Amino acid sequence: MRARGSRLLLAAVVCALFAVLLLVPSCSEAESSYRVALIGFEEGVQDEERNALVEYGQRRAEAELGVEVDFIVPGPEEDLGYLFTDGEDGYDLVISMGQASSLKMLSARPGKTQVQAVALDFETPEPVPGEDAVSLVRYRVEEGSYICGYLAGWLSGGTDHPMTNAIPVAAFIGALDDPLMDYYSVGFNKGVQAGVPDGGAFNYPIPSAQDSQMARTYAEDGIDKGADIFFCTPGPFNEDVLDVAEKRDALVILVGTDRSSESPQHVLTSLILRDDNAVFEAVRAAMDGDLDPGRHAWGIGEGTWSLAPFHGNDPYIRKELKEALREQEGKVRSIDFSS
């Protein structure tokens, strides 16, 4: 009887505690929510795909950090000044993605505001409004392009892939109007040298990402000279380089999202810019007081890039190469890319 009475008492206590928990709001409910305005990339084919990654980062931040995030795709003439309204109903943090959206956000930000702001995947050699009070983050794409160069050098210097030839040389085609162009270039060239020490890479700068005809001419020239793998910075010209690669059996590495569907046989891999991880890290750092104003560079440590799967090219990527790529990833943050 005593045991049965103890069990009944325990059950009654558990029920009472459960009822109290139902009546008392959780800490997250009791405290005011941390509010974030997340400005996505402006509309475009690649921008839509990158915005999908941005929204994934939004959902992760909401689920794991308990924040409230409003996702905004700005219109061409939209004034974003309303995002910087101070007060209990205002935002705690404003995040912008990429060059166009970030310039729009920085121009709209008032000189005096309590709202913290960060521009992700943003780089410019020129001063920007309020630079001493906002966080400007570029992705360390030199790290990712180094790994791509190492991959290209290894394959170009060997016989594992049926589309490579006996000449150990790759090629880089980059748009001069891309503020990250030099970072892509130095990383890729260093990677090729590491992957095939007796090889090299042709470098083809084009005036703008819109210059498709020049990109096509350079792709043809590179193949004529023995290049079998091309790395392209992002832009509309990628389509023309792919067209040449398909007609002449060459491989291409693209940047942005996983772009294998654009040419499954000829896209060797893609350098994915992990906007989802950057968004999460920005929110986490801001909430923890770790997001200082000024210019920052986030790389493999913050997860801002990764290689896409090799898909149909995977059978030609031997175990030894995959292990070497992982080893290089472990070293890449300590490589000096300044020269």
Q: Which residues of the chain, if any, have pLDDT below 70?
A: 1-32, 44-45
* pLDDT at site 57: 98
* pLDDT at site 45: 59
| Rounded Cα distance, 293 and 134, in Å | 5
Which domains are delineated in the chain? 31-133+276-298 (3.40.50.2300), 141-272+309-334 (3.40.50.2300)
pLDDT tens-digit readout, 170-229: 999 999 999 999 999 999 999 999 999 999 999 999 999 999 999 999 999 999 999 999
Q: Give the Å distances, CA to CA, from 297 to 142, 149, 232, 239, 294.
A: 11, 20, 21, 29, 10
| Spacing of C-alpha 31 from chain mean position | 32
| Rounded Cα distance, 95 and 100, in Å | 13
* pLDDT at site 205: 98
| Rounded Cα distance, 111 and 190, in Å | 42
Question: At which residue do the structure tokens 């004034």 appear?
Answer: 79
Where does residue 259 rank: exposed (0-12), middle (13-18), buried (19+ CB within 10 A)? buried
| Rounded Cα distance, 48 and 51, in Å | 5
Tell me the pTM. 0.89
* pLDDT at site 97: 97
| Residue 116 identity (one-letter amino acid) | Q
| Rounded Cα distance, 310 and 321, in Å | 12
